[in-house]
Amino acid sequence: MSRSATAILPGRRGLAARLADALWRHPRLLLLLMLVLPVSWLGIVYLGSLASLLVQSFFSIDEFSGLINYQFTLKTYRELLIPANLDIIVRTVSMATAVTLAAVAVAFPIAYFAARYARGKWKAAFYIGVMLPLWSSYLVKVYAWKLVLAREGILTWLFDKLHLTWLLEAYLALPVIGGNSLSVSYSGTFLVFLYVWLPFMILPLQAALERVPTNLIEASADLGGSPRQTLRHVILPLALPGVIAGSIFTFSLTLGDYIIPQIIGSSRLFIGQAVYTHQGTAGNIPLAAAFAVVPIVVMGLYLWLARRAGAFDAL
Amino acid sequence: MRSDGNRAAPLGLRIAAGAGLLFLHLPILLIFVYAFTTEERSYQWPPPGYTIKWLAVTWHRPDIWEALILSLKVATISTLIALLLGTLCAAAVSSARFFGRETISLLVILPIALPGIITGIALRSAFNLSDIPFSTWTIILGHATFCVVVVYNNAVARFRRTSASLVEASMDLGADGFQTLRYVILPNIATALLAGGMLSFALSFDEVIVTTFTAGQQQTLPIWMLEELVRPRQRPVTNVVAMIVVLVTFLPILGAYYLTRDGDRIAGAGK
């Protein structure tokens, strides 16, 4: 070959083309340009707000004037730890735990069926069947449950038709979980939480179950494992990241919700309601901020553990 | 050899899965019945009679129209912001491995992973400290922040499926970066962006928790509904609005599903 073609083409003309070439040659610059907007938005708007919340929790409120005293103090945190407030925290965390456990139990069969047995049309139907409730309006869902649980509503009617009214009444007579009617009891709050957050558990769980290799299940069966043993020792451990990913949602969403317990439930407060009342009518923003720090700490621990367990790959 | 594909599911599993799906859907169906009830004062079941009178009453309520228009406006602008930020972030995270990459994906998820009330009160206290008055724009600021993650999730999934060699091929064939963006990258991710945008729209249209903290006097449709739930004024009108909201949100969800169904199934995962 007499004339060797040059491997490097001459630079293109025109400002836009030269810019494009420069970006291609300096991928770090391109990366920086792509990241600067989203990171500064999330950094300033979101992390900035979180920081200002944190700062406010170290201020205190003057009991006489009701004005915020902009001095560093731990007084507000001492106030947070009085028994009445600890009750609220314990109540909320227990509710979140109960809802999460129940969500795993209800979501598992749906996710398992959708992941391993549903094919073609059925698979699409299952997917849509989970997506529609997930994305329909939160308030409409809560409202629907107000209709379901109302004393004159469909559930009471159903128990009556089945001649089981005595059972419902016996249940409502139980301490703690019972109440005057389902719509003003912890059971009602629990049901609505479970209903509203259930799809958040199904989707990651299904994704994790789909990633369990079929040949491992077959190997387990070949080695003499019963279906129950296979489920316990092969499928569940492999699906655990999905469970954790789902539980991040169910746990966190329950921790922070203040609308569901306000509309359906007893008058006893949850963390979200405490935050809302303290910042609103009481005007005690420092205490509200301190209350808001509780779910942040709980979720921070939770997310850190989840990340170590590799749950974010299943999101 | 048997495989799962041609084996029927155990009966217990089928019943549990079916019951779970019914649990998810029956309450929403109830809304459609209640929208036509003649009962005004209670939630009586079964409804004593059916009427379409309340559709007309709802149509002539100016407060509902105002709330609806504000909601549409907020959802549109927040979605546009989220589309820009989410796509950029997804492109960066999926195109390279760099220091802090994990932190950035965590940062994007954070506004959704932390309870909404935290986002709400954090924004509110920031507005208070910096003396920003509440307006439509403070609502949008909040909504855009948590909508980013939806767009990001959809875009990241699509970028992961789009082979990097396509971009290299385009460059080898002489296209510059902008041409590659216009003719190779954008057509590839367009449907994922559309799906992410639709879901982000639905998310913003429906948001209430953050909005209660970032809105001043303005009422979005969810805030209007919340008022009605806490202090019912005209129950039948609320029933009708609830039904309309269900119908309106179904369309973008189904649309997003059809746009992303082949391949990346995670259109809505991680709302």
pLDDT of B205 higher than 70:
yes
Query: Which residue in chain A is spatially nearest to B13 when comparing CA positions?
Result: A109
Distance from CA of A135 to the nearest CA of B (A): 7
Cβ within 8 Å, pair A140-B225: yes
Cβ within 8 Å, pair B43-A152: yes
Average pLDDT of B32-43?
83
Q: Which residue has the tokens 């509440």?
A: B134
Q: Which of residues 55 through 74 in chain B touch A, CB cutoff 8 A?
A: none
What integer best gives the mean pLDDT of chain B?
A: 83
Query: Which residue in chain A is spatially nearest to B257 when comparing CA positions?
Result: A128
Residue among A28, A113, A153 minimizing CB distance to B17: A113
Quick check: B160 contacting A, CB < 8 Å? no
Give pLDDT, residue A311.
Answer: 61
Residues sharing a CB contact under 8 Å with residue A240, sequence separation 6 or more, in sequence order: A208, A309
- Which is higher by pLDDT, B107 or A9? B107
Model confidence at B140, in pLDDT bands (50, 70, 90)? very high
Cβ within 8 Å, pair B24-A292: no
Chain B residues in contact with A219 by the CB 8 A cut-off are: none
Quick check: B95 contacting A, CB < 8 Å? yes
Cβ within 8 Å, pair A285-B128: yes
Q: In chain A, pLDDT over 70 holds for what percent of residues?
A: 93
CA distance A308 to B8: 37
Average pLDDT of A58-80?
81
Radius of gyration of chain B (CA): 23
Cβ within 8 Å, pair B17-A20: no
CATH number at B127 reads 1.10.3720.10
Radius of gyration of chain A (CA): 27
Cβ within 8 Å, pair B31-A116: no
Give pLDDT, residue B271.
Answer: 39
Give pLDDT, residue A191.
Answer: 93
Quick check: B132 contacting A, CB < 8 Å? no
Q: In chain B, pLDDT over 90 holds for what percent of residues?
A: 14
How crowded is residue A152: how many other Cβ atoms within 10 Å of its Cβ? 14
Joined tokens for residue A208: 């994790």
Least confident range from A62-66, A160-164, B43-47, B97-101: namely A62-66
Residues B175-185 as b/e (b if ≥16 CB within 10 A, e otherwise) read bbbebbeeebb
- Which is higher by pLDDT, B112 or A115? A115
Is residue B21 included in any domain, yes or no? no
Give pLDDT, residue B47.
Answer: 83
Cβ within 8 Å, pair B44-A152: yes
Give pLDDT, residue A260.
Answer: 92
Distance from CA of B249 to the nearest CA of A (A): 6
What integer best gives the mean pLDDT of chain A?
A: 84
Cβ within 8 Å, pair A35-B88: yes
Average pLDDT of B231-248?
86
Quick check: B176 contacting A, CB < 8 Å? yes
Residue to test with chain A: of B32, B43, B170, B189, most A Cβ within 10 A:
B43
Helix H or strand E encompassing A61: strand A60-61
Cβ within 8 Å, pair A299-B114: yes
Quick check: A263 contacting B, CB < 8 Å? yes
Quick check: A302 contacting B, CB < 8 Å? no
Distance from CA of A45 to the nearest CA of B (A): 8
Chain B residues in contact with A68 by the CB 8 A cut-off are: none
Chain B residues in contact with A250 by the CB 8 A cut-off are: none
Average pLDDT of A188-217?
90
Cβ within 8 Å, pair B238-A143: yes
- Which is higher by pLDDT, B157 or A199? A199
Quick check: A221 contacting B, CB < 8 Å? no
Cβ within 8 Å, pair B145-A41: yes
Query: Which residue in chain B is spatially nearest to A68 when comparing CA positions?
Result: B129
Query: What CATH architecture applies to the domain A79-314?
Result: Orthogonal Bundle (1.10)
> Where do the H-state alpha helices sit in chain B?
11-34, 53-59, 62-95, 101-113, 116-129, 136-161, 164-172, 177-180, 186-206, 209-214, 221-230, 235-260
Average pLDDT of B172-198?
85
Quick check: A216 contacting B, CB < 8 Å? no
Model confidence at B263, in pLDDT bands (50, 70, 90)? low
Average pLDDT of A255-265?
88
Give the 3-state DSSP-derived string for B213-252, with helices as H, strands as E and coil as C: HHCCCCCCHHHHHHHHHHCCCCHHHHHHHHHHHHHHHHHH
List the beta bridge partners of residue A68: A61
Cβ within 8 Å, pair B115-A255: yes
Model confidence at A9, in pLDDT bands (50, 70, 90)? low
Dihedral angle sign, alpha carbons of residues B213, B219, B224, B230: positive
pLDDT of A309 higher than 60:
yes
How is chain A split into domains, by residue range? 15-44, 79-314
Chain A residues in contact with B147 by the CB 8 A cut-off are: none
Average pLDDT of A188-200?
93
Model confidence at A280, in pLDDT bands (50, 70, 90)? confident
Average pLDDT of B134-156?
90
Residue among A107, A131, A296 minimizing CB distance to B253: A131
Give pLDDT, residue A103.
Answer: 95
First CA to last CA distance, chain A:
56
Give pLDDT, residue B83.
Answer: 94
Give pLDDT, residue A6.
Answer: 55
Give pLDDT, residue A2.
Answer: 46
Distance from CA of A226 to the nearest CA of B (A): 14
Distance from CA of B103 to the nearest CA of A (A): 10
Number of domains in chain B: 1
Of A108-112, A114-118, A288-292, B251-255, highest mean pLDDT: A108-112
Q: pLDDT tens-digit profile of B105-127?
A: 888 888 877 888 888 888 888 88
Crossing angle of helices A186-210 and B11-34, in 10° steps, is 130
pLDDT of B3 higher than 70:
no
Chain B residues in contact with A146 by the CB 8 A cut-off are: 43, 229
Is residue B38 within 8 Å of residue B57, measured between CB atoms? no
Distance from CA of B248 to the nearest CA of A (A): 9
Average pLDDT of A31-51?
87
Q: pLDDT tens-digit profile of B48-63?
A: 888 888 888 888 888 8
Structural domain containing residue B71: 56-260
CB pairs under 8 A between A and B: 302
Chain A residues in contact with B265 by the CB 8 A cut-off are: 127, 207
Residues sharing a CB contact under 8 Å with residue B106, sequence separation 6 or more, in sequence order: A303, A307, A312
Chain B residues in contact with A107 by the CB 8 A cut-off are: 20
pLDDT of B92 higher than 60:
yes
Distance from CA of A175 to the nearest CA of B (A): 26
